[in-house]
Amino acid sequence: MILKDRIAIVTGAGRGIGREHALELARQGAKVVVNDFGVSLAGEKQDSPADEVVAEIVAMGGEAVANGADVADFEQAAAMVQQAIDTFGGLDILVNNAGFVRDRMLVNTSEEEWDAVIRVHLKGHFAPLRHAGAYWRAEAKEGRQRAARVINTSSGAGLQGSIGQATYSAAKAGIAGLTLVAAAELGRYGATVNAIAPVARTRMTVDAFPDMMAGAGGDGDAFDAMDPANNSPIVAWLASADAADVTGRVIEIEGGRVCLEEGWRHGPHEDAGQRWAAGDVGSAIRALVGRAAEPERVYGT
């Protein structure tokens, strides 16, 4: 019960990884706002399963309420944060998980597909985070600083890139960058901000990576490395008061393996001491490439 009486919002919590997050946070004692807008993988509106997740939480003796907000709608995101405050008396934890995919090779991607994926993933992280952050700032100014926690959802696609997922990769890379800035800005209000890069068998991944997803798990008591529930204990700990010393980090989770990602860092450099002449740049850059670590390969190459 590491989250006893803490109040959480989990977005995209009707299915898959988000559902498992909501259930695990409830098992650990949190009161949960279960958000799910109810869309297909292509982003088409359908019935939300949020009420079913709420019923599961209540059946296990927990407290939860459903929310159907479009998290990328600025006003609906504000109302979702307010629902947590009005229903449970505050907000301590925000787990940004909602998203969908429209995978295409870059030259086949339409403007509508680009806008939709960037909106749901990147703006859908920004809007709830912005309103939750404003609440925590107000609480801190009133002398009621909370042990606030944000867990965003990036992806290996955003960290290393993925063939056929240019839009998704760009959105998830943006989430990693947003995490760094939010951690630096919100720390003064008692908030930590981290991100996970989960690996799991969900409706988003089973079609994109059928071979990898089909090979997961086994019979009987064999450990299923692709079970989406594998990600949720890490999220629960990051959401706890105990995690106050960990912020601005991206953690990849694959089965029982957790990996602390090391993102963009200053590497080898060459200072000309003056403006570079264009003809001198090539040899200098090639020398730096020779001294630098090899980048990880893009998924699918």
Residues designated as active site: 155, 168, 172
- Of residues 60, 66, 55, 62, the one with CA closest to residue 13: 66
Angle at 37 between CA 250 and CA 228, to 5 degrees: 45
Angle at 162 between CA 158 and CA 164, to 5 degrees: 125
Coil, helix or strand for 136?
A: helix
Would you tell me the crossing angle of helices 124-141 and 166-186 to the nearest 10 degrees? 10
- Of residues 64, 169, 192, the one with CA closest to residue 109: 169
Alpha-carbon distance of 22 to 8, in angstroms, equals 9
- Of residues 140, 29, 88, 92, the one with CA closest to residue 241: 92
Which tokens is 33 given? 């706002």
Instruction: State in Å, rounded, how far the first CA of the chain is from the last one.
Output: 43
> What residues pair up with 121 in beta bridges, in sequence order?
none
- Of residues 109, 30, 43, the one with CA closest to residue 71: 43
